[in-house]
Amino acid sequence: MSTELTWPDTPDEALLSAVNRVMRAVVELGGAVGYSAPPGREATDPWLESLLKSVRDGDARLALAVVDGTVQGMGLWRRDPAIVFAHTAELGKIMAHPEARGLGLGRLVVSALVGDAREAGIETMTLGVRGNNFGAIELYESLGFREWGRLPNAIEVGRQRFDSVHMYLELGRPADVVLHGSAAGGPGSSPKRG
């Protein structure tokens, strides 16, 4: 079996079809990747075209895991569009086609995306994961991600609700960056009341 990562930046029919195939199969099994029902091409094509424009602009990357010539896994990072958060990126759409589960594609894709984001100057990577997706949470933790918050029962799947777990990973900062955290003083500071 041959597995490789590809980093597309331009949509074509084969890519649009391959990404839809993976997304549909994952959602059919209840995967939490942003769709409540298996999406058709009318939903995934515009999404992918928009993402690839961000890739060409340097604000995102898409990694595809190709097994024996077939796209079987994927994931992305996308830079936060707000100027004050441009050093952060969100990891998303991490998935493997059900027929390729157990091949380590999630670890391969996430590890590659983390390294790629670090090279692009991203300092902090965030992600959201459904609270009952224990395998994904364990994978992210094994790669250094830590939980920073949990929004109880915020993810809707039909009549069911699940926690939205928020995680982060520090990728490193330039040596001249001053970390101020929540200390008093500095731009935007206000004194405590009462």
183 pLDDT exceeds 90?
Answer: no
Predicted local confidence at residue 32, as pLDDT: 79
64 pLDDT exceeds 90?
Answer: yes
Predicted local confidence at residue 169, as pLDDT: 98
Predicted local confidence at residue 189, as pLDDT: 85
* DSSP-assigned states of every residue in 111-155: HHHHHHHHHTT--EEEEEEETT-HHHHHHHHHTT-EEEEEEEEEE
Q: Which domains does the chain have, with CATH numbers?
A: 3-170 (3.40.630.30)
Predicted local confidence at residue 36, as pLDDT: 84
Predicted local confidence at residue 180, as pLDDT: 87
Confidence label for 188 from pLDDT (cuts 50, 70 and 90): confident
Could you read off the pLDDT of 12-61 as tens digits, one per residue?
999 999 999 999 999 999 887 888 899 999 999 999 999 999 999 999 99
Predicted local confidence at residue 102, as pLDDT: 94
156 pLDDT exceeds 90?
Answer: no
Question: What percent of the chain is predicted at pLDDT more than 70?
Answer: 100
Q: For 1-15, 114-128, 154-168, 180-194, which range has the lowest pLDDT when averaged over its residues?
A: 180-194
128 pLDDT exceeds 90?
Answer: yes
Q: For 49-53, 61-65, 71-75, 157-161, which range has the lowest pLDDT when averaged over its residues?
A: 157-161
The average pLDDT across 83-95 equals 95
SS3 percent helix, strand, coil of the chain, rounded to 5, is 30, 30, 35
Could you tell me if 45 and 13 are in contact, meaning their C-beta atoms sit under 8 angstroms apart?
no
Which whole-number Å values give the CA distances from 91 to 52, 74, 175, 190, in the listed order? 15, 11, 24, 33
Average pLDDT, the chain: 95
